[in-house]
Structure 1
Amino acid sequence: MHENFEEQYSEKGYKFIAGIDEVGRGALFGDVLACAIIMPVDEEHIDGIKDSKKLSEKKRERFYEEILNESVAIGIGRVEPEIIDQINIKEATHLAMLRAIENLRDSDGNKIVPDILLIDAETINTDIEQVPIIKGDDKCYTISCASIVAKVYRDRLCQKWAKRYENYGIEKHKGYGTKLHRDAIKAYGPSEMHRLSFLKNRKEW
């Protein structure tokens, strides 16, 4: 059940209230990706929205289109494996979030600077006021929307990556460390899209 953080901050005079979440943090392959999104405060919430991990793929896809249609502004931020290996996954996740904020645009392509950030359990290096919310993807509607958009967006990237790197079954496990994926890495070695710093931590490879 969502707590109405958006209404609380709207009543305090905040106009552009952005929710932020990331996906792909624990994957062995591909980018870590974040979504920043601003949803209208004065409209009914889309019924059934919750943390993307608690929704079926079919529901996520349906909600994705609804969220995009209703959003005031949206931004996607990506950080590629090479940078993840250089700066570590926590810093890369924060960078993806900062890029998502920087990329916030409305439907006409105008840049929108948020007044406040509602972030799922993270604090990032920005001058914009921010509120880290534990289990935010469950408790906060806007963060739930960000989690769904981020997940669907990255899953679609995985479908594209799977065609380029056919040996690894990326379309099935989305880059995470399943047995299928680990066995493929043992058989073919890591690709240029694998996070080598993650693989070094796993002695069986």
Structure 2
Amino acid sequence: MASTLQAIDAFLASGQYRPILSVIKGLRNGAVYGAKVRFPHALVMTFLFKDASLREKFKAIFEATFTHSKNLAAFVFLYKSLTGLLHHLRSEKSQIHSFIAAFIGGYIVFGKYNKVNEQINLYLLSRIIYGLAKLAVKRGYIPKPKGDSFPWFAAIVWGIVLWEFEYEKDTLQPSLQASMTYLYHDSNYWTSLKNFLWHNK
């Protein structure tokens, strides 16, 4: 048994078939990362906001975790496979390869509408908008702000989201609606000390 494990370790360390093995390792890492990220989030959000039986809550948690894990694993597998194929066909790396591979993978995996994919896509959208703004400064397309611009960024984000919540609530994601309702609307109502301090309603 020990010799078999040593032979496997030697094979993996040799670098032979590295592109194929990196795809397999990416598939594994996608599944693990997806589960690690989604399980605690689903656990907290389900028990805070979902009105259902204990069995239904756990079912929702495990379904969300499985979907996130499966989709991230599938995307990493597709992305690494396609970039590897494109590099092989062109005999050189190109920045466009990353975009093409991710575009195809995003369409196939994250283009199927469900709550998990919606949250992941929205999460990435906020990050890339922020990143593109920094890239525009880095490349000199827009001047670097002279002062600290982060307070203005925060002010605009919070101003828009609270206006949208108060007057166009149906346009926001349901989980965000639930969070904001709990924070800003449920805090307007109470009938006793019990639901003022210990319970929401």
Instruction: Name the structure where helix makes up a greater proportion of residues.
Output: 2
Instruction: Name the structure where strand makes up a greater proportion of residues.
Output: 1
Give the TM-score, by structure 1 length.
Answer: 0.26
Give the TM-score, by structure 2 length.
Answer: 0.26
Q: Which entry has the higher C-alpha Rg, 1 or 2?
A: 2
